[in-house]
Structure 1
Amino acid sequence: MKFSDIPGHQSVKERLRSMADNDRIPHALLIEGPSGTGKMMLARAMAQYIHCENRNGGDSCGECPACIQHRSINHIDTIYSFPIVKGGHENPVSDDYMDQWRRMSEDSPYMDFLHWLSLIQAGNSQPQIFVSEADSLIHKLSFTAHKAKYKIVIMWLPERLKTEAANKMLKLIEEPFHDTLFILVSNDAKKILPTIYSRTQRIIVHRLPDEIVANRLVETKGLSMADAMAIAHNADGSMLAAETALSFSKEEKQFLELFMALMRKAYQNQMADLKEWTVTISAFGRETIIRFLNYCLRLVRENFIMNLNVPQLNYLNSAEAAFSSKFSRFINERNVERISQEFDSAITDIAGNANPKLVLFDLAVRMCIYLKA
């Protein structure tokens, strides 16, 4: 991965290049920002630039042995660490999933977490970075670099470190080996152990401008600029969201149908049907339930905005807009805040391993009340 392969983020690239060129690379670098903006690509490009044998014009050459190894995710002094599930392994480590990681890096360089869940067959499990991974890193880093000046650990989603693993990682980051660099890539840095976060040098990656997202879609997907700009506007600076929006996914269709069912049955106080709705949603894995609730929260907000009669503020696809044109009048200034809070609370409870059936049925009952406010 070269810097030139990554759209946008020129100031971030300049900062990373300067660190490497002046050999003033922090031992623990945290690249943080919204999902789908290219943070992992930047981390990979930085590692390749550090290891490149023939840097040229502010970028790696792409042709030396080190660059070729980086391109295939095979560089001997680059270690990847990422959230996984146990999957039958007693002491699970990232190495157990390297084939899936290489496929992920090729299929989804903007790091689609849903795709990762599918590749590792997560099911109902929540991917984490286990203490066995921290032990493995300690062992690997105890050896000197093989070919390069630095060994580089690229860790995706350090916010998913289990507590014991995070504590072991803290010791590694506080007292690093002289030839070791960490590049952490986070979508939600506020969930990283504060003692780790405070010991990193942070680089914040902001949303991509709509023009850059649109140009990329035109170049890679063959869209017209008008269509590309419409998608980019809805994607909120995420290249991943823009690419996903090109097709209304099967999951999104299901989520819309379930949201419509919830609101219709709640308005009509159909408790028996709402109980069945709860059972249906509860059968999803926790990660899917959380995605669904976030989807519902977005539609609630979009329906409230629709009442303002300012179409350019609405980010709805045609199917969502068709439903919302009739439903939006039920989301108003009297209930929008309470309804939003209920979905937020449900997301928090599900993420905290609460019983999904209890949380979801309570949510459904409260919708019966609030929709008639």
Structure 2
Amino acid sequence: MQFKEIIGHKDIKEHLVRTVHENRVSHAQLFLGPEGSGSLALAYAYAQFLNCENRQSADSCGECPSCRKYNKLIHPDLHMSYPFIAKHKEDTATDYADSWRKSFLSNPYMGLEYWRNQLDADNKQVNINIAEAHGIIKKLSLKSFEAEYKVLIMWLPEYLDTQGNALLKLIEEPPEKTLFILVAENQDKILNTIISRTQLVKIKKLDHTEIAQHLKSVHHLSDQESAEIAFIADGNLQEAMNQIQSQTNNHFGILVNWLRFIVSDAGTNMISLVEEELSKMGRENQKSFLFYAINMMRQIILIKEGLSSLVFLPAKELDFVQKFAVHYTVEQIEATINLFEETHYFVERNANPKILFLDLSLQLTLIYKYKTFPKGTQYII
């Protein structure tokens, strides 16, 4: 991957290029940026630039043998580590290398949930186990096969837990011409002993305009559609992809019908919609639907607070939120958002969808029809 393929981050790209030209490459770096910001893509582009055989002034050449191997993620001196599902204690990330290459090459801005879906993880936990840590030590103790630098890119070191202690000595005193790049989203979840041994590279979320331009040029969306999705995604390109997917699922039509049945206390219709549509969506579509519903409710709050200029929605959705905002209070909308977020949490943990959405519907009916605010419910997972 080349720098020119990555959206935005002009200053970061220039900084990374400068460190290579000035021979100031720190042996351990922490790329810290939110999901969908492109931090992982930047790490790969940096590694490719570092080992390019015909390095240009601001980017790798993209054509030399090293770049061609990097572009396919098959360079022998490029090592990748990431969270995975260990079916056996000796399993390592290498067992999932084919899935990783396919996932990254198709979506270099991917988030953890996207990766979990490629693994068919369901409600299983992913992590970076001790066998992976020992495997990294073994790989990096070997001499380079053909490149100047051996590079390890570890995505989401937050999932190392205490296993990361096994890597401390290697990170602090690595073999010559060895580069660690840790790509993280949450600094608070990384071992402090690892953070203290790395040079921090902070990566900001993408601008709305950068995402909108990408959606127009790559996904051929209209100016209005691109602006709306970019606003909702709030700097997260992975979320923008999720929103594009949600548009094909008629989330708006389902949400409007569902809320209509709720506010009118049309019990039979409400139960039918839960059983025939919401409970049969599949877990990822249910999560996407709930995220969409949360965003719609947030737009309603913006309107009620007199911030209509910040609302970017298609005409029919805008008409809906404007009418909904007239009839219901901020307190009701906030309670709805809280319930949607709780439901999203339980969907992720594989709660029974029919029971979950039926209970959610009943609680929303209490809020809108009877202005009663029920306490949260605990579900058996």
For residues 39-54 of structure 1, the aligned pairs below 5 Å read 39-54=39-54
Residue equivalent to 1:201: 199
Cα offset, 1:90, TM superposition: 4.8
For residues 109-120 of structure 1, the aligned pairs below 5 Å read 109-120=108-119
8 Å Cα contact 1:126/1:286 also seen in 2: no
Match of 1:212 among 202, 210, 219: 210
For residues 342-357 of structure 1, the aligned pairs below 5 Å read none
Residue equivalent to 2:107: 108
1:248 alignment partner AA: S
Residue equivalent to 2:83: 83
Give the 3 Å change call, closer, same or farther, for CA 179–290 of structure 1 in structure 2: farther
Residue equivalent to 1:68: 68
SS in 1 for 2:29: strand
8 Å Cα contact 1:144/1:179 also seen in 2: no
Give the 3 Å change call, closer, same or farther, for CA 14–331 of structure 1 in structure 2: farther
Cα offset, 1:344, TM superposition: 5.1
Q: What whole-Å deviation, never above 9, does each CA across 1:91-113 have from its counterpart, x for those lacking one?
A: 33211111112211221122254
In the alignment of these two chains, the number of paired residues is 369
Distance 1:338 1:227 in 2: 29
Residue equivalent to 1:146: 145
Distance 2:321 2:37 in 1: 29
Q: Which runs of 5+ in 1 are unaligned?
A: none
Match of 1:235 among 209, 233, 236: 233
Distance 1:342 1:234 in 2: 19
1:238 alignment partner AA: N
8 Å Cα contact 2:332/2:367 also seen in 1: yes
Residue equivalent to 2:131: 132
Distance 1:175 1:347 in 2: 43
Distance 2:163 2:68 in 1: 32
Give the 3 Å change call, closer, same or farther, for CA 63–231 of structure 1 in structure 2: same
Distance 2:220 2:256 in 1: 33
1:199 alignment partner AA: R
Distance 1:62 1:170 in 2: 34
Distance 1:205 1:261 in 2: 40
8 Å Cα contact 2:55/2:61 also seen in 1: yes
Distance 2:363 2:141 in 1: 55
Cα offset, 1:76, TM superposition: 1.0
8 Å Cα contact 1:112/1:240 also seen in 2: yes
Residue equivalent to 2:35: 35
8 Å Cα contact 2:53/2:64 also seen in 1: yes
SS in 1 for 2:98: helix
1:125 alignment partner AA: K
Cα offset, 1:156, TM superposition: 1.6
1:120 alignment partner AA: L
Superposition TM-score, scaled by structure 2 size: 0.78
Distance 1:167 1:277 in 2: 48
Give the 3 Å change call, closer, same or farther, for CA 64–236 of structure 1 in structure 2: same
Residue equivalent to 2:298: 301
1:82 alignment partner AA: Y
Tell me the percent identity.
Answer: 33
- Root mean square deviation of aligned Cα: 3.9
Superposition TM-score, scaled by structure 1 size: 0.79
8 Å Cα contact 2:28/2:181 also seen in 1: yes
Residue equivalent to 1:314: 311
1:34 alignment partner AA: P
Give the 3 Å change call, closer, same or farther, for CA 137–204 of structure 1 in structure 2: same
Distance 2:225 2:282 in 1: 34
Residue equivalent to 2:92: 93
Do structure 1's residue 163 and structure 2's residue 151 form an aligned pair?
no
Distance 1:129 1:100 in 2: 16
1:145 alignment partner AA: S
Distance 1:299 1:101 in 2: 33
Cα offset, 1:304, TM superposition: 1.8
SS in 2 for 1:125: coil
SS in 2 for 1:35: coil
Q: Which runs of 5+ in 2 are unaligned?
A: 373-381
Residue equivalent to 2:13: 13
Cα offset, 1:286, TM superposition: 8.0
2:148 alignment partner AA: K
1:148 alignment partner AA: A
Distance 2:282 2:93 in 1: 22
Distance 2:117 2:331 in 1: 40
Residue equivalent to 1:191: 189
